[in-house]
Chain A
Amino acid sequence: MDKLNIIQKTVMGLVITTMVFSVVVPLLFFLSIAFSSDVEMTKFPKPLIPTFTVTVKIAPAEDDQYEVFHDRGDGYRSIITTGNPTRLENHFRRQYSVRVPGEQLLKDFSKTRIYGPMEFQYRKDFFHNFKQFFAIVNNSIPALKNSVLVSVYTILISLSIGSVAGYAMARYSFKFKDFINVTLLIVRMFPVVGISIPMAILLIKFGLFDTLLGLALLYSVPNIALTAWITSSIFIGINKELEEASLIFGANSFQTFMRITLPLAFPALTASSMYAFLTAWNDTISALILTNKNQTLALVVYKAIGTTSSGIQYAAAGSIILILPALVFTFIVRKYVNQMWGGVEL
C-alpha cells in the first residue's frame, strides 16, 4: 500500500503539474502585461515573458528628419517621421517605455546619414508602467499613503481592544461567556456591506465621513472579534503557572502582563495585526461607500480600470503594488487563514 505503482505516480505528477500550471501561467502572463509597453499591448499573441529591450529601424528623411519603423509582429512599418527631439522623446517614452533624451536619440540616429537605414536597440524602462500608474491615475500617490495609514489605524484599534477581550475570554469564566462567544462570531461574519452603508450616516454625524479614521473604525468591526479569537486561542496555550510564578516573585499584574504574557502572545498579536492589515488593504466596497476624496489604493485601482481596456497595463502595474504586501502577509498568517476557512491546523 505504501509503494505507489507507476500509474499512480504518473497520475499524481500530472495532477500536480496541471495545477501548478493553471495557477502560474495566468500569473506569469499578468506579470508580463504589467511590464509591457504601449506598443507591446497591441501585439498579439502576447509573450509569456516580458521583453527588456525594443528594436526600431531608423531611416534618414529630408529636412533633418528621421523615419521610425517598428515591427509589431507583421514586419516593419513606418510609425512617425520627425526631427523634433521632444516629439521623438515622447514617442519613445509613450510607445516603447524607453526613457532616452531626444537629443541623444537624434545623435544616435545621425549615424544613418552615413550608413543608411539601421536598426537600433534600446533598453526599456522596466518600471515605466508603475511610474505611469502614479503619474496618470488621479490620487494614486495619496491613495497608497491612505491605504497604509488606514491599515495602521485598523491594526491599532483592533489590537488594543481585541487582545484585551481575547485575554478575558481565555483567562476567566463568567456569566454570558457563551453569549459573548456567539456575538463575537456573528460580528466576525457580518457582511461588511451590511454595515458600511448605515455606517456612512453615523460617520457623517461624527464628522468622520471620507476620513481615514472613519474607514479604520469600520474595518475594525470584524477585526476586533477576530483578534479576540486569535489571541484567546494563544492565551489559553500560555501556561497560567508562569504568570502566577511571576506574581509570587513580586511582580505586579501589569509587570507580569508586560514581561511574561505579552512576549508569549506576540505571535498571536502579529497574526492579528496582519489580518487587520489585510482587511483594510484588500477592501474595495467599503472604501467605495465611505470615502469620496480620501480613496484607498484598492479603490483607485478599481476606478482605474473603468470599463474600457485601454491603458490596462497601468492598472495591472498598480495592482502588482496592491498584491505584494497582501501576498506576503497572507503567507505569514496562512495557518490562521486555513483555520478560518474551516480547515484543520497545518
Chain B
Amino acid sequence: MSKLKLANSNKTGLPNTDIFKKKQIDLKRVFSKKAIPYLLLLPAFIYYAIFWLAPVFAGVAEVFTDVNGQFTLTGNFKLMMHSDLFDKAVMNTALFAAVSVMIQYFIALLLAVLLSRKFRGAKLFMFIAMIPMAITPTAVAILWKTGLIKEGWINSLLMFLHIIKEPIVFLNAEGLAAVFLIILIDTWTVTPSVMIILLAGLQGMQRELKEAAYTFGANKWRIFVDITLPILKPSIITSIILRLIAAIQVWAIAVMVLGFNKVPFLVERIAFYVDAVPGVATSEKLAFTFSFTTTVIVFMVTIIYLKFAKRNTKIGGSS
C-alpha cells in the first residue's frame, strides 16, 4: 500500500526541473542493475578460473605430454592400457557400477512399494535407514572389515545362527567373488537411502489416481506398471545416474577391506599410483591418465544426467 502511495505522489508532485536529474538516476540504476548479478557472480568466476579450469587444463596438458615433457597424443594412454591390472580395473568398474546399481534399485523399489503405506514408527524407521549412507565411507570400510576378518562379526553371526560350522575366510576372496563382496557392502550402504527417496516419491503420489484405477478394475500389477512406475520415473532416472557417477568412483572400500591390487578399480588405480608407488615419473603420469579417463567417463554420464534433470536442478529458474 505505502509503496503505491509513494509512487503516486512522486508522479504527480514532481517539479519540471527535476526531470533531467531523475533520468540520470534512472540510467545509473539501469546500468548497475544489469551489472549487479555479474558482480555478485564474479568471485565464483574467478575462483573457478583459478581452482577449477586451471587444474583441469594443467591435467589435460599432463596427459598429452610424456615423461620428458614432449607432446604425445596417445603415449600416456598406451602406458595406461599396458599398465598392470588396467583391463581388470575397467571391467570391475563397469561391472560394479552396473550390478550394484541394478541390485540396489531392485531391492529399494521392492521395499518402497511394500512400505508405501503409512505405518507406526515410520519416522524412526527413516532415521535408521539413513544411517548407512551418513557414515563416512572410510568408516564403512572399517565396519565391514571388522566383520569380514576370520574372527569377525559376520562369522560370529553365521555361527550363532548355525548357518555355518566353520568360520569362512572372506578376505581371501578373489576375482568375481571379491567384486561381489564390494557390491554387497555398497548395497548395504546405499539401498536404504535409495528406498527413502523412492518412498518419498510414492507417498507424495496422489491417492485418487490409485483409487480411480482400482475402480476401473486395474489389478495391483497394472497399477504398479501404469501408475506407480511412471510417477517415480524421473526420480528413479536422476538418482540412478547420480548413483552411477558415485559408483564409478568407488575405491576406498576395496582398498581398505581387501588391500591394493585385489579388486582393481579405476580410482583404486589412481590411489595405488599416488599412495603405493609415489615419486616415480611413470606412476605420476599413470595417475594423471587414470584420473583423466575417469573424469571423461563421469563427464559423459553427467551429460546424460543433464538431459534428464533439467527441471530438478536448475537454480533460480531460467532467464
Contacts and interface: CB of A to CB of B under 8 A. Distances in A.
Physical interaction between A and B:
yes
Interface in B32-66: 33-34, 36-38, 40-41, 43-44, 47-48, 51-52, 54-59, 62
A202 B55 contact: yes
B153 interface: yes
B292 interface: yes
Given A33-B153, A185-B306, A199-B55, A220 B197 contact: no
A183 B52 CA distance: 11
Contact of B43 (A4, A165, A175, A199): A165
Contact of B167 (A44, A217, A285, A309): A44
A235 B54 CA distance: 31
Interface string A205-226: 0000000000001101100100
Nearest to B46: A161
A150 interface: no
Interface band, chain A? 35 or more
A75 interface: no
B37 A174 contact: yes
Nearest to A345: B200
A212 B134 CA distance: 24
Contact of A30 (B134, B146, B295): B146
Contacts of A301: 138-139, 142
Given A168-B37, A327-B134, A193 B249 contact: yes
B201 A344 contact: yes
A313 B239 CA distance: 35
A202 B51 contact: yes
Interface string A164-206: 1111111111111110111111110111111111110110000
Given A195-B52, A301-B139, A312 B149 contact: yes
Interface stretch (A15-23, A55-63, A85-93): A15-23
Nearest to A253: B36
A62 B299 CA distance: 74
A243 B202 CA distance: 38
Contacts of B79: none
Interface string B265-292: 0010011001100000000000110011
Contacts of B245: 189, 191
Contact of A16 (B125, B153, B298): B125
Given A168-B36, A193-B270, A288-B271, A177 B319 contact: yes
Contacts of B155: 44-45
B156 A191 contact: no
A316 B146 contact: yes
Interface in A283-329: 284-285, 288-289, 298, 301-302, 305, 307, 309, 312-313, 315-316, 319-320, 322-323, 326-327
Contacts of B302: 185-186, 189-190
Q: Is the interface of A mostly helix, strand, loop or mixed?
A: helix
B98 interface: no
Contacts of A345: 200
A346 interface: yes
Interface stretch (A101-109, A113-121, A258-266, A335-343): A335-343
Interface in B192-233: 192-198, 200-201, 204, 210-211, 214
Contacts of A26: 143-144, 147, 153, 188
Given A174-B34, A191-B249, A343-B196, A285 B315 contact: no
A285 B115 contact: no
Contact of A343 (B201, B271, B295, B305): B201
A201 B287 CA distance: 13
B151 interface: yes
Contact of A202 (B54, B133, B147, B210): B54
B139 A323 contact: yes
Contacts of B135: 323, 326-327
B23 interface: no
A313 to B, nearest CB: 8
A37 interface: no
A6 interface: no
Interface string B159-188: 110000001000100000000000000001
A100 interface: no
B44 A165 contact: yes
A21 B62 CA distance: 49
Contacts of A7: none
A144 B252 CA distance: 20
A23 B139 contact: no
A97 interface: no
B52 A187 contact: yes
B313 interface: yes
Contacts of A30: 142-143, 146-147, 153
A233 interface: yes
B6 interface: yes
A305 B145 contact: yes
A228 interface: yes
Interface in A7-45: 11-12, 15-16, 19-20, 22-27, 29-30, 32-33, 41-45
A19 B111 contact: yes
A232 B315 contact: yes
Contact of B156 (A45, A170, A315): A45
User: Which of A25, A29, A32, A191 counts the most chain B CB atoms within 10 A?
Assistant: A191
B295 A194 contact: yes
Contacts of A341: 193-194, 197, 239, 242-243
Given A41-B151, A45-B159, A342-B239, A330 B37 contact: no
20 contacts: A1-B211, A11-B114, A16-B121, A30-B142, A43-B151, A44-B159, A164-B41, A177-B318, A181-B314, A181-B315, A189-B242, A190-B298, A191-B291, A196-B291, A281-B136, A285-B252, A326-B139, A331-B130, A338-B197, A341-B197
Q: Which 9 A-B pairs have the closest CB atoms?
A: A194-B295, A342-B239, A198-B59, A343-B197, A45-B156, A29-B153, A342-B238, A330-B134, A168-B40
